[in-house]
A and B are shown apart, each in its own frame.
Chain A
Amino acid sequence: MSEANLTMGHGAGVMEERPFAIPSKKLVMWLFIISDACTFGAMLFAYGYLRNASPDWPHHFQTASIVNVAIMTFILVTSSLTMLIGTRAAKAGDKAGALRFTFITVVLGLIFAALHLREWSSMIHEGVSLFHNEWGAPLFGATFFGITGLHLAHVISGAIALTVVALGYKRGRYNSDDIEIWSLYWHFVDLVWMFVVPMIYLLNVAQ
């Protein structure tokens, strides 16, 4: 009988070492992130494939759109910073600070989503949709709304998840590890946007 069973009683298992010296749930989040990175990578490669294979890919983003994208980028990167500060506060035991900065992150994420939906509305009004494109290659609309829609879904679900985890952390159900794990997800969402912006918007600026 193992020492663990002798000390802890019959049937007690031996605790495994944490993988890579991190909690298992953190490793699971990292594994999800790399799988999601491959998903977005595949979407962007498909976009590049279609753009390269189309002679009439639209270069239609006016300065107003680029300014909007710049503001959205600033908001999302700032939300990453506030999430980082919130995680640091949680690790230091400052519960109030952690909650404050997590909720600021959620608000910034929702502002980003609102700006994005406003841009979508403007494009749909101009005749570009998931199944139609007034500006040239018909698949532009499908790829644009597909990729930005997938990213927007990640932003909104991340905002919901952060809210749930923050409220649970406040009640004592979750701890600082959980705040840190979901901050990884939020930073990933920001990271994806850094690739979406140049590929989708900046390489298709109206000259």
Chain B
Amino acid sequence: MSAEGSLKTDLMIYVGILALAGVQIFMAYHSPGVIRMLLIAAIQAFLAVMYFMHLRDEQSTLRLALIPATLFVLVMMNMVWADSFRLIQFRSFPK
């Protein structure tokens, strides 16, 4: 890929990330939803990691070493929600 072509890709990703941020701000005033907001943030993060941080151009073994473990830890943190719902209902135990 030529240097000029790569810079064009970078600019497109930059505009894309800003456009997604604009969509989030629009959604904040019209039907905000946690899952939708986080989904857009995840897409922005994917674009930043793959293109800005050039993980797309690295060896696949590096991607395999970094991404699944990180996602696993973050997904496992979702176990807090049961206690969060218990707390708001003042129950002494989760359902």
What is the count of residue pairs linking A and B with beta-carbon distances less than 8 angstroms?
Answer: 123
On whether the beta carbons of A49 and B53 are closer than 8 Å, the reply is no
* Residues of A close to B83: CB separation below 8 A: 49
On whether the beta carbons of B48 and A198 are closer than 8 Å, the reply is no
Number of interface residues of B (CB under 8 A): 45
On whether the beta carbons of A21 and B59 are closer than 8 Å, the reply is yes
| Other-chain residue from B24, B25, B29, B70 in contact with A38 (beta carbon distance below 8 A) | B70
Q: Say whether A85 faces chain B, with CB atoms less than 8 Å apart.
A: yes
**Chain B nearest Cβ from A142, distance in angstroms:** 16
Number of interface residues of A (CB under 8 A): 46
B16-49 vs A: 1/0 string, CB under 8 Å?
0110010011011100101001101100110011
Q: Say whether A30 faces chain B, with CB atoms less than 8 Å apart.
A: yes
Of B11, B28, B81, B85, most buried by chain A (CB within 10 Å of CB) is: B28
* Residues of B close to A191: CB separation below 8 A: 44-45, 48-49
Q: Say whether A163 faces chain B, with CB atoms less than 8 Å apart.
A: no
* Residues of A close to B80: CB separation below 8 A: 45-46, 48-49
* Residues of B close to A117: CB separation below 8 A: none
A34 to B72, CA, bound (A): 12
Q: Contacts A34-B66, A73-B21, A203-B32 given: A194-B44 contact, CB under 8 Å?
A: yes
On whether the beta carbons of B24 and A198 are closer than 8 Å, the reply is yes
What are the nearest 9 A-B pairs in CB distance?
A198-B37, A202-B28, A53-B87, A20-B62, A52-B84, A194-B44, A45-B77, A49-B84, A187-B52
